[in-house]
Amino acid sequence: MSLKSLGLASALPWLQAAGRRSAAVRVGLVAALSLPWLALPACRRSEAAVRIESIGPVLKDLREHGARMAEQMRKPPPEPPWTAQDDAIPATLEEDRAELLRKLRERLGVSDDAIEAIRKIFSKAPRLGQGNPKVTEHPMTRAQCREIRAKSKTMPASSLCGAPNMVAVYATEKGETENDARVCIDQFEFPDIACEYPVTWVQAFQAQEICKALGKRLCDAHEWEGACYGDLRPAQDEYAWNLDRANAAAAHNARNVKNGWIRWAYGPVKDHKKCATTGHKSPKCVASEYELCGSNTFPAGAFPECVSPFGVYDQHGNAAEHMSIPMKPSELGSRGGIGWTEMKGSWFIFDSYEAHEDDCRWRAPDWHGSRVMDPNSHANYHLGFRCCKDIGK
């Protein structure tokens, strides 16, 4: 018999302290955890059994205490209080990036090695950041976002994911629970911090590299869709491996319409105003030009109703999002692969300009299509990303 077999390994420090304080606990634990006792004569075994029985309630309490300790160990530490520096709007792209890296370290506990890897990615990306500081006009401050969230019911992160601000995604319609999940997704658009502005002007390959630096990866299309809908379907049911991109997307969308599988993260009735869709486009922005088009996004999570059943925010509105669409099984992210570019969601002016459908499972035509890792993959002022993570990795 051992602490592990009794389910008490995580409570070892408490057990040791309790044994020092109490002779009864000490004697009982010796009897309960000593391996040779099973070989004792019957009379001695009976005596030991009585001692074990006498500390039964203690062992039960210890098991529960160990479970609570393990749960607490999985939870990330709380973010530090926000400061004036956190709320400031940087004047240059360099300042913007420096603040992003600082917040990743201080608020999400990102390691120095990961920070350095992301810094190198930033250094090779001439536009990647929270928008061109010269023309970007955010319609809401971070402080206003925090006030809104403080007054609202918000969805917690999952302790299964092994990283802050992530939630588990699983097949609810097949009766799975959170403990059956094999993948997690960021609750917020990168940098995955509540009330922080999403990063834009990021190419698909850069998004994948940043996710990898964080021990994550870009989501596959069906994972993002399942996180939005509230039910993750098997990959083999969500991709037509024998069709080309255009026909596969058309067949996927037609099947969803036929079966009534149309819903948004927040519910079955479309309502753009529940999400960050009421922003404005820069006056001189016609084409997607860095000098003229501001990333006029809202802080992430500023619309508490714009959340999926799993707890994922802003899958409609704010910034559209990069992900990978696999064209064959080996390109699935869960198998270590990477596919072709896919853009999901809608963006910050969608209430006044509905450019396309944006229900959870709708798949776009081959817009700006390329391999995800193509160095010329697409970027623009209203396109960001979020990451997924395989549980246990």
**Phi and psi, residue 218, nearest 5°:** -65, 145
- Name the residue ranges covered by the structural domains of the chain: 9-72, 85-390
Structure tokens at 314: 């802003």
Interatomic CA distance for residues 378 and 109, integer angstroms: 30
Whether residue 191 has a cis bond before it, omega within 30° of 0: yes
Give the end-to-end CA distance of the chain in Å, rounded to a whole number: 31
Interatomic CA distance for residues 141 and 134, integer angstroms: 17
Structure tokens at 313: 């925010």
253, 259, 264, 267: CA torsion to nearest 10: 170
Closest CA to 127 of 365, 386, 392, 384: 384
Q: What is the model's pLDDT at position 23?
A: 46
Closest CA to 104 of 94, 116, 92, 93: 116
Beta bridge partners of 324: 220, 341
Q: What is the pLDDT along the chain (393 residues), one digit of tens a residue?
A: 444 444 444 444 444 544 444 444 444 444 444 444 344 455 555 555 555 556 666 666 666 665 555 554 455 567 789 999 999 999 999 999 999 999 999 999 999 999 999 999 999 999 999 999 999 999 999 999 999 999 999 999 999 999 999 999 999 999 999 999 999 999 999 999 999 999 999 999 999 999 999 999 999 999 999 999 999 999 999 999 999 999 999 999 999 999 999 999 999 999 999 999 999 999 999 989 999 999 999 999 999 999 999 999 999 999 999 999 999 999 999 999 999 999 999 999 999 999 899 999 999 887 788 999 999 999 999 999 999 999 986
Q: What is the DSSP string of 241-294?
A: TTS-HHHHHHHHHHHHHHTT---BTTBSS--GGGSB------TT-SS--TTT--
Q: Which fold does the domain 85-390 belong to in CATH?
A: paralog of FGE (formylglycine-generating enzyme) (3.90.1580)
Q: What is the model's pLDDT at position 369?
A: 86
Q: What is the DSSP string of 298-356?
A: PPTT--TTSB-TTS-B-SSBS-EEEEEE-SSGGG-GGGT---EEEEES--TTTTT---S
Closest CA to 387 of 200, 186, 203, 204: 186
**Model pLDDT for residues 27-63, shown as the tens digit of each residue:** 444 444 444 434 445 555 555 555 555 666 666 666 6
Q: What is the DSSP string of 125-140?
A: -SS-BSS-TTT---SS
Beta bridge partners of 343: 322
Radius of gyration from C-alpha coordinates of the chain: 25
